[in-house]
Amino acid sequence: MSGRFGRVVTAMITPFNADGALDLAEAARMARWLQDQGNEGLVISGTTGESSTLTDPERLSLFEAVIAAVTIPVIAGTGSNDTAHSVHLTKEATRLGAAGILAVGPYYNRPSQAGIAAHIGAMAGATTLPVVVYDIPVRTGRKITSANLLTLARDHKNVVALKDAAGNPGETANVIANAPSGFEVYSGDDGLTLPLLAVGAVGVIGVATHWSAPEHRRMMDAFFSGNVAEATRINAALLESFSYETGDDAPNPLPSKEMMKLHGFAVGDARLPMGAAPAWVAERAATVKANLEAFRSR
């Protein structure tokens, strides 16, 4: 089994220079490296990409630079809490050659389920591209109900996938069981990827995949070939990365930015209100990196 965007997709961080300006050259370089590491797709301008702090010209130039840099599918995060704005960005991403659209549930406003459906439906109606609905209630303040997800998939032919970060694999199993043929679910929570594969997910749109794409590919290969024990062994080796990638004192994407600095990328600090990572994050990144390299050598 392999999803339309592949099995291992990274939600890419956005590089800034020392002055806090968008660094398109570094974004393109990192995108190429992520492809070389085994990523089969990229999401840009999502949560991990600090989409809410990017201006429209920055988002569009980021779309253009990354799409030009790689040969794998690039999914453009065009959602916001303003439907008209999201529709505009969706049209622009379509024009620039994105392979798909990531439509996050509208945040802050806390709309009804009908409002969420109308918002995502308007985005889907603004493009012919495949649309991935992104359900992350911890960030948006609203869970997109299973009934609403299924209605969106049935009412809009190009709503073809879900990035699931709702934290309830049992409920996701119900979505997978009742969705139209061809509808796909990607794990949007690294720590729940293996459980979600077990209920029918096709892959991950990950964060730790920035530095562990080879292990994720091996885990997917093992799982889909029926070697669940090997998939479980690899997942266990990734648990340290999963716990590292976010936390109350250093939320995503701060840890990923520190990790990618260790991998030779000048990605800068996150923009406020995230800001710079605490000093201990870089120290822990070095430990996580060393332990993963030791696992690879065994």
The residue from 91, 107, 108, 134 that is catalytic is 134
Q: Are 120 and 131 in contact (CB under 8 A)?
A: yes
- Could you confirm whether 257 is annotated as catalytic? no
129 Cβ contact partners less than 8 Å away, ≥ 6 residues apart:
93, 94, 98, 99, 100, 101, 158
Separation between Cα atoms, residue 58 and residue 41, nearest integer Å: 21
Name the residue among 114, 136, 138 with its Cα closest to residue 187.
Answer: 136
Q: Are 206 and 9 in contact (CB under 8 A)?
A: yes
The residue from 107, 143, 163, 244 that is catalytic is 163
- Could you confirm whether 244 is annotated as catalytic? no
Q: Are 176 and 153 in contact (CB under 8 A)?
A: no
Separation between Cα atoms, residue 180 and residue 182, nearest integer Å: 6
CA-to-CA dists, residue 68 to 7, 75, 280, angstroms: 21, 13, 36
List the catalytic residues: 134, 163
